[in-house]
Amino acid sequence: MKALTSTEFHFDGQKSVYHGKVRDVYNINDDIMVMVATDRISAFDVVLPKGIPFKGQVLNQIAASFLDATADIVPNWKLATPDPMVTVGLKAEGFRVEMIIRGYLTGSAWREYKNGCRELCGVRLPEGMRENERFPEPIITPTTKADEGHDENISREEIIAQGIVSAEDYEVMERYTRALFQRGTEIAAEKGLILVDTKYEFGKRDGKVILIDEIHTPDSSRYFYADGYEEKLEKGEPQRQLSKEFVRQWLIDHDFMNRPGDVMPELTDAFIESISDRYIELYEQITGQTFVKEEATEDVAARIEKNVKAWLNQ
């Protein structure tokens, strides 16, 4: 199976297309968004030179299932999934911040904490914490949403003071973020997993704040296996986790963090296959369903185009 790493569709009513790090988003009549989850993969704000087979299908199907599973607590943009790699939904004016919520001290937050940082995005961090330890309460650490380059940490106060988001809208986003994380945590626990941290994006449509983009996927979230968590924490051992962090760690081990002068290591076919297997593993763990590979009986791009056009024409 070849990975789908680029798309160039032309749908009726198409106004524009945005090619993100992973998703290609088609604007239909300034009303509907067609979001294609490609097989591209990014780390350290750079798209890796090879795609990951079935990654787009995994991301799209996990996100769609979680949008459905949280629609009773937070309104979202989703209308339909006409193809395993596509979600179509309502166009909204996106806020220029990402709402990151962390239940545990890990990843970039741990790297900063280990270097002496005790305040993250205006949130004070307790002394004496260990890597992967649970926070007393989940903390929200927003970032600015950059078109290019690195997203930057920012505090609630700075977001409101700079007029990036109004105080009223931010309050709604914060409330929704906590409610979504609580629901995601409960769903993960039923599957023997811990939702460690994640990010949400919101937009506004018809004066109402709605959830947009993906949620609770391995690209936007980190999961630990609950079994053995406490034991590994006590021993200071790495947690068994399902997330993209293992890709970042592999790159770090190969001396790549997208710093000036860093050279991208060669991505072998075996490593690419192992990433694909990890994404499928997460799908099956978090959904409790067997992943059915959408085998290409035809060109993948042609299949997507046909399915989306059929939905738009209905």
Q: How far apart are CA 60 and CA 66, in angstroms?
A: 10
- The pLDDT, as a whole number, for residue 135 is 98
Q: How far apart are CA 150 and CA 143, in angstroms?
A: 10
Phi then psi for 215, rounded to 5 degrees? -140, 145
- The pLDDT, as a whole number, for residue 242 is 80
Predicted TM-score (pTM) of the model is 0.90
What is residue 98's three-state secondary structure? strand
**Which residues of the chain fall short of a pLDDT of 50?**
none
Say if CB 51 and CB 23 are below 8 A apart.
no
- The pLDDT, as a whole number, for residue 296 is 60
- The pLDDT, as a whole number, for residue 297 is 61
Alpha carbon distances (Å) from 272 to 2, 191, 226, 246, 277: 11, 26, 27, 12, 9
| All domains of the chain in start order, with CATH | 14-93+268-313 (3.30.200.20), 94-243 (3.30.470.20)
Q: In 3-state terms, the chain is what percent helix, strand and coil (to 5)? A: 35, 25, 40
What is residue 80's three-state secondary structure? strand
Say if CB 264 and CB 49 are below 8 A apart.
yes
What is residue 271's three-state secondary structure? helix
Q: How far apart are CA 32 and CA 93, in angstroms?
A: 12
What is the tens place of the pLDDT at every residue in 114-166?
999 999 999 999 999 999 999 999 999 999 986 665 678 999 999 999 999 99
In terms of Cα–Cα distance, which of 242, 291, 218 is closest to 59?
Answer: 218
DSSP classification of residue 42: E
The tokens for 50 are 């090879």
